[in-house]
Amino acid sequence: MMSAILLSKKGINKQTISDKVMGRLERFYQDKLAKALRHSKAIIISVVGLFVLAIILMTTLGGEFIPALEEGDFAVETRVLTGTSLEASMEVCLKAEKVLINKFPEVIKVVGKTGSGEIPTDPMPMEATDLMVISVKFTEKIWIH
């Protein structure tokens, strides 16, 4: 209310540069929207086609190697201090691998993945390592013991 009382009303109907630019953009948009509405079936068909193409392409994209974990397998996340070298991180992982294999006879192998991947779907920091612990399947455990 104070601005309505105190500010000048002179030049209130005057068009500024931004008003002119926005008017041109709005006219351009209105023209394109009217044309799109006239050809709505073609646009819907092309959008569905592009969506199907995107799904097909997505299924053929490569990914990172992470072994499939069977029943009884598990993943262990280890972390080292921020700024630790890759060699030191690998050394910690190798120690953890040796402990797991030596202490637990049902562990067959341990696979490690250090840092974040090329595909940013896993928000792991650089200093974290996932150890996939692959163990003997349950049916095989019965025969061993």
Per-residue confidence of the chain (145 residues) as pLDDT tens digits?
A: 787 777 766 766 778 889 899 999 999 999 999 999 999 999 999 999 999 999 998 887 766 555 566 666 777 888 888 888 888 888 888 898 899 889 988 888 888 888 776 666 667 777 788 888 888 764 444 444 4
Determine the angle formed by the axes of helices 40-60 and 17-38, rounding to 10 degrees.
Answer: 90
CA distance 145 to 142: 6
In a domain, 92, yes or no: yes
In a domain, 12, yes or no: no
Q: Are residues 44 and 86 in the same domain?
A: no
In a domain, 49, yes or no: yes
CA distance 98 to 108: 11
Q: Are residues 52 and 79 in the same domain?
A: no
Q: What's the confidence (pLDDT) of residue 93?
A: 86
Q: Which range marks the domain in which residue 78 is found? A: 74-144
Q: Are residues 52 and 99 in the same domain?
A: no
Q: What's the confidence (pLDDT) of residue 135?
A: 82
Q: Are residues 47 and 102 in the same domain?
A: no
Q: What's the confidence (pLDDT) of residue 108?
A: 86
User: How many structural domains does the chain have?
Assistant: 2
In a domain, 2, yes or no: no
Q: CA torsion sign, 102 to 105 to 109 to 113?
A: negative
| Residue 110: other Cβ atoms inside 10 A | 19
Q: What's the confidence (pLDDT) of residue 34?
A: 95
In a domain, 47, yes or no: yes
Compute CA distances 135 → 60, 73, 74, 90, whole Å.
Answer: 30, 6, 8, 21
